[in-house]
Chains A and B, each alone.
Chain A
Amino acid sequence: MSNDIAILGVGMHPWGKWGRNFTEYGVKAARDALADSGVAWKDIGFVSGAATMRCGYPGYVAGATFAQALGWQGAEVNTSYAACASGSQALAAARSKILSGACDVALVVGADTTPKGFLAPQKGDRPDDPDWVRFRLGITNPTYFALYARRRMEMYGDSQDDFALVKVKNAEHGFENPNARYRKKFSADDVAASNMVADPLRLMDICATSDGGAALVVSSLEYARKIGRVDAVKVAAISTVTPIYASAVIEMPDIATDSAAVVDAHSFRAALPVKAYEEAGISPQDVSVAEVYDLSTALELDWMEDLQLCERGQAAQLVRDGATRVGGRLPINPSGGLACFGEAVPAQAIAQVCELTWQLRGQAGARQVAGAQVGITANQGLFGHGSSVILKR
């Protein structure tokens, strides 16, 4: 039996920085997704929300918050929290409900409002909290991104110019995207002129935090057929696996990796898509387009290799060749990625699925990847959370 579900509708509130209530962004995205699907709100049987931790109690119960804002209509609700993977887990909850036969059509919503400035840890002396310890020692989020970037330079000979090319490429993609927060083209010189934050990464290599909202209407294939949508884009796989001990790479907010003295080290980022490919019965060679979590420019290159879209150490060469641009043979982040959006945590994984849906429908306008058949997403966040979703036509 197929484990596929149909994506009937997608919608987004543009990304930005306004500080308004997150519900506003989520409702706008949900209404757009409903309109896109042609499904009436009263027919939704399950509302699956991705939680935001920064917006108080309504954020912790986001599923109910969105359902109430859209007008209580008796649907079941659920809220998922899994850091950057929250949106994928909300989608996975909806898929389980649909595949079990408990519901025909569901709404998945994530939205966030982020504070201005640096994300700082909570106040007070807490030497047992790894997040407190690393800030005490002067180790910030960019430290980790920079360590990964420098590792690429040391191992594969990547350069800061390569990283800048990723930014230039993503800026070009996002320039055409009405939902992107930053819509400005940059040159490699612009990137090189921006301030160094954590050597080798400059301000323009690192993504910001944003407000934004994204939503999906998903259903059983049977329901899609019934309403005449047999051609709907399908979710072929959702992977939200945890890491396998011991971690090979130093992960935020830790001060040290696990010890691999007794058990072998494993890469979490590389494990995430493996399960997705297996579940979908699709191989990396079949992928037409990918949306990956470019928290930094260099991290986009790591993801290309973790998704097995090229050999280890080869990603920078693909960027230099122009292969990862729209029009190239393997476009990465046609939406513009986090470089043009900034991160709106509970909405981001859903936004990746929205972009791939538009790409697979052929509705992505100027940033359209010609003939896109299969798309894959990837993201990774704190405390062993991550996800990879595969869509197919």
Chain B
Amino acid sequence: MSEETNAAAGKKTRQPALEGWFTLNEDQPHLIGNQCASCGTYYFPRAKNFCKNPACDGDQFDDVELSRTGKVWSFTNAEYKPPAPYVAAEPFVPFTIAAVELAKEKMIVLGQVVAGVNPSDLKAGMEMELVLDTLFEDEAAEHITWKWKPIASNDYE
């Protein structure tokens, strides 16, 4: 759909709040990390110049899509409006945050959790998947980011 027809349909352009941090595939989005060509260590956000593994002097990196599912390591929420550069809707609506452990990359990644999921709905070890959702809107566009979402058939007991 062109921007014009979007506007006609009352829809705003969707654009990433952080350029190049995740793929824009709405059904199966991935975070974009990279991997040291010498030792294989993963990075998110992407490493630019040097590998941080003290046993490696690598400086070449290949982009990789990180696992799009993982397990809850811990979780919290924001009951107060964070300061700028956070852009909050008025009135501010508290949101949930999860730290999710990716098994293959052995890395914990933070992110907001989709609306409607409260801390009381989460448990350590729960399976989560990555989705794209609105971080904030302005007149021009809907700025999207990755968020974590409990996998529907969660069987974490």
Question: What is the interface of chain A, defined by CB distance below 8 A to chain B?
Answer: 118, 120-121, 123, 125, 127, 130, 132-140, 142-143, 146-151, 154-155, 195-201, 244-246, 250, 255-263, 265
| 17 sampled A-B residue pairs with Cβ under 8 A | A121-B83, A127-B19, A134-B110, A135-B83, A137-B112, A137-B145, A199-B77, A199-B79, A250-B73, A250-B99, A255-B45, A255-B109, A256-B108, A260-B107, A261-B40, A262-B36, A263-B55
Chain A interface main SS type: loop
Chain A CB within 10 A, most for which of B17, B85, B108, B135: B85
The answer for the CA separation of A355 and B1 in the assembled complex, in Å, is: 67
Which residues of A are found within 8 Å of B111, using beta-carbon distances?
137
Q: With A147-B99, A261-B41, A261-B106 as given contacts, are A198 and B85 in contact (CB-CB < 8 Å)?
A: no
Question: Contacts A138-B112, A197-B79 known; A259 to B85 CB distance under 8 Å?
Answer: no
We find that the number of chain B residues with CB closer than 8 angstroms to chain A is 45
A-B pairs under 8 A by CB, number: 135
Greatest chain A CB density within 10 A among B80, B95, B123 is at B80
Shortest Cβ distance from B38 into A: residue: A262
| Residues of B72-86 whose CB lies within 8 A of A | 73-80, 82-86
With A136-B86, A262-B41 known as contacts, the answer to whether A256 contacts B79 (CB < 8 A) is no
B31 vs chain A, min Cβ distance (A): 9
Nearest-Cβ distance from residue A299 to partner chain B, whole angstroms? 13
Contact B82 A139 (CB under 8 A): yes
- The answer for the CA separation of A195 and B78 in the assembled complex, in Å, is 12
Q: Known contacts A139-B110, A150-B119, A255-B44; can you find 4 more A-B pairs with CB under 8 A?
A: A256-B45, A258-B52, A258-B107, A262-B41
Q: How far is the CB of A173 from chain B (nearest CB, A)?
A: 27
Output the nearest chain A residue to B107 by Cβ-Cβ distance: A259
Instruction: From B19, B79, B108, give the contact of A257 (CB < 8 A).
Output: B108
Query: Are A262 and B40 CB-contacts (below 8 A) given A143-B76, A147-B76, A199-B77?
Result: yes
Chain A minimum-CB-distance residue to B106: A260
Q: Tell me which residues across on chain A come within 8 A of B36, comparing CB atoms.
A: 262
B41 touches A259 (CB 8 A): yes
B53 at the binding interface (Cβ < 8 Å): yes
CA distance A143 to B54 in the complex (A): 29
Q: Within the complex, which residue of A123, A137, A154 is in contact with B124, where a contact is CB–CB below 8 Å?
A: A154
Measured CB to CB, the closest approach of chain A to B117, in angstroms, equals: 12
Min CB distance A120 to B, Å, is 4
A142: chain B residues at CB < 8 Å are 76
Q: Cβ of B42 < 8 Å from any Cβ of A?
A: yes
Q: Which residues on the A side are within 8 Å of B97 (C-beta)?
A: 138-139, 143, 147
- A262 CA to B37 CA, complexed, in Å: 12
Cβ–Cβ < 8 Å partners of A143 in chain B: 76, 78, 97, 110
Cross-chain contact A137 with B135 (CB below 8 angstroms): yes
A127-B19, A154-B74 given; A259·B82 CB < 8 A: no
